[in-house]
Amino acid sequence: MNEEKGNPLEGFGMTARYLTKTEVRDPWKERLEYRVTLTYRGRVILETPFSMGIAHIPGYERRQRRVIENQEFLIHALETGTVPKYSPAGYMRNSEPILPTLESVVSCLVLDSSAIDYADYEEWAQEFGYDPDSREGERIYRACLETGLRLRSRIGESRLRKLQEWAANQ
């Protein structure tokens, strides 16, 4: 398949390592957190944190009405990064891992990278609904800007633009 006309993710690969609650900045937030390594044509182009909300846990929606079972389910999933499997003895620890997809990671990263298209933080903040005087907003902007600059330098302007176009249509 021709990379220019075919799958925009051709040549990309990814690994993800689940971070335990002792490895994350805010262990009280209910989210799945990873350290992802993105590769292009076998070369590492970016290592970054990546998180997903609890709705990405397979089976989570079915358990929302059962409060006690849901709490046990969530605690297990958030502690281990795996889908809890119920047995008469409780949740088994050898269940399948919950991993982000290459599509979701690349989509998020290239959408974040659009920060390189703004003249400064204030312009970006206005577009994305952040307070132009917010230090937290500016920290987010700078992280997005760094992601965009790193991606552009490693895969080129043309490929980054194609990925941004693809991600915007997801």
Tell me, what's the pLDDT at 96?
86
**Could you read off the pLDDT of 115-154 as tens digits, one per residue?**
999 999 999 999 999 999 999 999 999 999 999 999 999 9
Q: What is the DSSP letter of 7?
A: -
- Regions of the chain where pLDDT drops below 70: 1-5, 27-28, 62-69, 89-94
Beta strands in 19-157 (DSSP E): 31-40, 43-53, 85-87, 90-92
Contact 30, 56 (CB under 8 A): no
Tell me, what's the pLDDT at 89?
67
Q: At a CB cut-off of 8 Å and minimum separation 6, what does 152 contact?
A: 113, 116, 160
Tell me, what's the pLDDT at 55?
86
Tell me, what's the pLDDT at 93?
59
| Rounded Cα distance, 109 and 32, in Å | 17
